[in-house]
């Protein structure tokens, strides 16, 4: 019975993660990559907000910036069309 409860809880967490990613994707780019701003613009936005950027990458239709602030790690998701912050995930 405990194993079944654990499996159900795990499935719920996976579904929740998928829903968050889906919502994030909806808030990100709709245009082709050729019309996106440069990823350095997202990094600059994070630095302006006081983050120390370690790396960045394209994640689906978003820019994902890995950064630290106040000794905490974060993943920052930006819309690459206008470099507006879409989501912040503390790690």
> Is residue 65 classed as helix, strand or coil in its secondary structure?
strand
Rounded to whole angstroms, the Cα distance separating 51 from 58 reads: 18
CB under 8 Å to 8, separation ≥6 — which residues? none
pTM for the predicted model, two decimal places: 0.75
Q: Does residue 83 have a pLDDT over 70?
A: yes
The number of residues in the chain equals 91
CB atoms closer than 10 angstroms to residue 13: 10
pLDDT in tens, 11-70: 333 333 444 555 776 889 999 999 999 999 999 999 999 999 999 999 999 999 999 999
- Bridge partner list, 89: 75
């Amino acid at each position: 019975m405990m194993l079944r409860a654990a499996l159900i809880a795990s499935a719920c967490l996976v579904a929740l993660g998928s829903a968050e990613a889906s919502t994030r994707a909806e808030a990100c780019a709709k245009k082709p990559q050729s019309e996106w701003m440069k990823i350095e613009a997202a990094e600059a936005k994070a630095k302006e907000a006081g983050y120390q950027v370690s790396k960045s990458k394209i994640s689906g239709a978003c820019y994902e910036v890995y950064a630290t602030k106040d000794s905490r790690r974060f993943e920052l998701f930006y819309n690459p069309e206008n470099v507006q912050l879409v989501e912040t995930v503390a790690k």
